[in-house]
Amino acid sequence: MKCYRVQQLYDDLASGRLPEPLSRDVRQHLADCTDCRVQHQRTGRLQRLLALKRHEQPPAGYFDNFLTEFNARLDADLRRAGFWRRLFAAADLEPLLSWRYGLATAGCLIGALGLLWVGLGQSPAPGSATAPAAGGESMIVFAPAPRGADDDLIAPRFELPLIYATDVEPTISSARVNPSGPVVQQVGATRYVLDRISVTPARYDVSSVDF
Amino acid sequence: MKLLDQFRTNRAAPARPATEHTIELQHEEDEALVRRAQRGQTRAFDLLIERYKERLYATVYHMTSNREDAHDLVQDTFIKAYRSLGSFKGQSSFYTWVYRIAVNRTINFLKRGKNRTHHSLDNVDDAIQTDPDFVELMSQDTPRRETGLHEQQQRMNAALQKLSDNHRAVVVLHDVQGMTHADIAKMMKCSEGTVRSRLFYARQQLQGLLSEYW
Ligand SMILES: [Zn+2]
């Protein structure tokens, strides 16, 4: 048996984890080889010396306020963090801000922006956006009813036909709806225009555990 | 209510008395507590902190030889763990996972050279006087008999600090903390062979640095 191989097995020999034929071989080598025997003894002494470090202990009561301090630090950490982290922390959902969820959110955001980009890139025929659609479309876009032809100048260009709020029948349970309540029709209200998209890059500062 | 206030209310665990629910939680396994913490039960995470803070502190302290750094790093480790809890899928035990964070953060910290240059050592407890290893070491006819306990402690810590961070980590985890090669390998994401070889070279170096003890 090579000396180097034996020296790698000291710990297993000491802990009795070495299977029998190997254990016997190692013991035999230690009996025959002076260098390894001395090395083995020194290693044992060093390990005992190192184990004494376990007696180095912090003063009594050292950990008494550990949890309070942890909470204070987390609190201070949140103060420095942005709005979203605070929101998630308030709802106790902070673990959701991991890189997986971050990636999923970023993916959804990119997907949504992609769809919007495709939608904006294809202009419908003039006036088509003002035509109420029949029900049963896969995508329903709610918007106040148009005020007049002038609004077409600033109308958003959606490929899919719009369904106006005034055209949609309530589908929620009647038990939750007050039938005598007023029906709000925003006739003549200004059309909302999405003229600018401002995207701030999301920060995922807990995206990975830096090992 | 402001978000921060609400957050404080959510995480005001230390101020709360130990409820029946908390006492029940104390008997739960780590995995169950982790699942609860992932669902937002902060008290469950508090219990995990209580369970591991001292062991983590000891490891980091032995790696840094500085009490204040160790304290900060362990706090930092738990904050990191809490924030990364969503990504913890239980492929390893919580213990291995949180240890890995602590060891790696400590190594990164030491690499950045931000550690305090002086040692800030914990006191040696009285129990050492009756420790068989200590009694045996003192009974041997070597120069260490003449040196005081405090001086021995200083020398040992100084020698440890001369090792590379990875070598010091394996020595601390194995010879001081008593972890197995397999656990260290998992924690440090390397093979058991690497752990064995690092241990071998670290001990060789320590024997050279502490030659007056042999
Ligand atoms: Zn040999």
A206/B80 CB distance under 8 A: yes
Contacting residues of A for B108, CB less than 8 Å apart: 210
* Spatial distance between the Cα atoms of A157 and A175, rounded to a whole number of angstroms: 37
Report the pLDDT averaged over residues A87-91. Answer: 59
**What is the CATH number that goes with domain B1-118?**
1.10.1740.10
Radius of gyration from C-alpha coordinates of chain B: 20
CA distances from A78 to A85, A202, B14, B79 (A): 7, 16, 18, 11
pLDDT at residue B152, rounded to an integer = 80
User: Which residues does residue A147 pair with via DSSP β-bridges, in sequence order?
Assistant: none
Instruction: Give which of A113, A39, A94 is closest to B80, Cα–Cα.
Output: A94
Grade residue A160 by pLDDT with cuts at 50, 70 and 90.
very low
Cα distance from B27 to chain A (closest Cα, Å)? 19
Contacts of B32 (CB under 8 A, 6+ apart): none
DSSP strands (E only) in chain B: 123-124
Tokens of A199: 């995207």
A52/B133 CB distance under 8 A: yes
Tokens of A186: 């925003």
Q: Are strands B123-124 and A56-57 parallel, antiparallel or unpaired?
A: antiparallel
Grade residue A31 by pLDDT with cuts at 50, 70 and 90.
very high
Instruction: Give which of B76, B66, B98 is closest to B85, Cα–Cα.
Output: B98
Highest mean pLDDT among A71-75, A205-209, B52-56, B110-114: B52-56
Report the pLDDT averaged over residues A105-117. Answer: 80
* Spatial distance between the Cα atoms of B195 and B203, rounded to a whole number of angstroms: 12
Contacts of B77 (CB under 8 A, 6+ apart): B56, B60, B98, B101, B102, B105
Q: Burial, A142: exposed, middle or buried (Cβ in 10 Å; 0-12, 13-18, 19+)?
A: exposed
Tokens of A35: 């260098």
CB B84 within 8 A of CB A98: yes
**What is the CATH number that goes with domain B121-214?**
1.10.10.10
Return the domain boundaries, chain B. Answer: 1-118, 121-214
pLDDT reading at B146 higher than 50:
yes
pLDDT reading at A144 higher than 70:
no
Residue with tokens 């009813």: A145
The two most distant CA atoms of chain A are separated, in Å, by 104
Contacts of A53 (CB under 8 A, 6+ apart): B62, B153, B156, B176
Which residues 87-126 of A are in CB contact (within 8 Å) with B?
A: 87, 89-101
pLDDT at residue A193, rounded to an integer = 40
**Interface predicted TM-score (ipTM):** 0.80
Cα distance from A39 to chain B (closest Cα, Å)? 9
A56/B189 CB distance under 8 A: no
Q: Considering CB atoms only, which of A91, A98, A211 is closest to B86?
A: A98
Task: Say which range, A190-194, B85-89, B111-115, has the weakest mean pLDDT.
Answer: A190-194
Q: Considering CB atoms only, which of A86, A96, A210 is closest to B4?
A: A86
Higher pLDDT, B164 or B143: B164
Q: What percent of chain B has pLDDT over 90?
A: 46
CB B165 within 8 A of CB B108: no
pLDDT tens digits, one per residue of B153-206:
888 889 999 999 899 999 999 999 999 999 999 888 899 999 999 999 999 999
